[in-house]
Amino acid sequence: MLIPPTISILGVPVHAVTMPQTLALVRQFMTEPRLHQLATVNPEFVMAARRDPDFYRVLHQTDLNLPDGVGLLLAGRRRRQPFPERVPGSELVYHLAEMAAAAGWRLFLLGAAPGVAEEAAATLQARYPGLRMAGTYAGSPAPAENDALVQRINTGRAEMLLVAYGAPNQDKWIARNRAALTTVRVAMGVGGALDFVTGRAVRAPRWVQRLGLEWLHRLLHEPWRWRRMLALPHFAWLVLWGR
């Protein structure tokens, strides 16, 4: 299957994919003998990449950048290059777990607060019988822990890896360990998705998502995110009036 074309959003390439295309590409990636990195790009990613050259380089070297964020869809329309749909990482996690259970792939959950990865693994295994876990661990993206984390993942013979350290740390961590993670075929940063799986955080209702107000729902429930949310009006200004 050919990888769909990218649309440049303020210099960051984002693939014009649907959820079914994403799943088909993951199946293809899992048959190839190397690690494939996926990133769930939203406006915060784009603005962070504009400030952080290392993150910018990572997003230009990933195998698949998913349009996760209503702001990206609006930006695509503004450029007259519309994305076919939004591909939310928080929903993709469930699809990946279901695929892994059906195919027998070993899944490793890395990151989040202590105990969250273990709880998320138990929830996913209950939902998808047969799901094989290669391991769970919180840890941190600190360089001092890097080698021990890589060894833990390789020892578990993980084939699919979900990293919940938040952007850009999770994406940089995957990028710098692409060669060292010898058994992993697909790796993706998932931000707070494991908190959604465990119920520690609650996604916005469908009607709120359809209105493009999921960011507001999250801000109301997690007011500490307000500084990060300042990237949204800046992103909108650059898309509408910037060069």
**Residue 53 in domain:** yes
**Residue 122 in domain:** yes
Mean per-residue pLDDT of the chain: 90
Give the pLDDT band (50/70/90) at residue 217: very low
Over the stretch 162-177, which tens digit does the pLDDT of each residue have? 999 999 999 999 999 9
Over the stretch 195-209, which tens digit does the pLDDT of each residue have? 999 997 665 556 445
**Residue 188 in domain:** yes
Q: What CATH code is carried by the domain that includes residue 73?
A: 3.40.50
Give the pLDDT band (50/70/90) at residue 216: very low
Q: What residues make up the domain containing 70?
A: 6-198
Structure tokens at 85: 């749909």
Nearest to 17 by CA among 34, 29, 33: 29
Over the stretch 28-51, which tens digit does the pLDDT of each residue have? 999 999 999 999 999 999 999 999
pTM: 0.89
**Residue 112 in domain:** yes
Q: How many folded domains does the chain comprise?
A: 1
Answer yes or no: is pLDDT of 146 > 70: yes
Nearest to 180 by CA among 10, 13, 35, 7: 35
Taking the C-alpha atoms of residue 54 and residue 42, their distance in angstroms, rounded to an integer, is 17
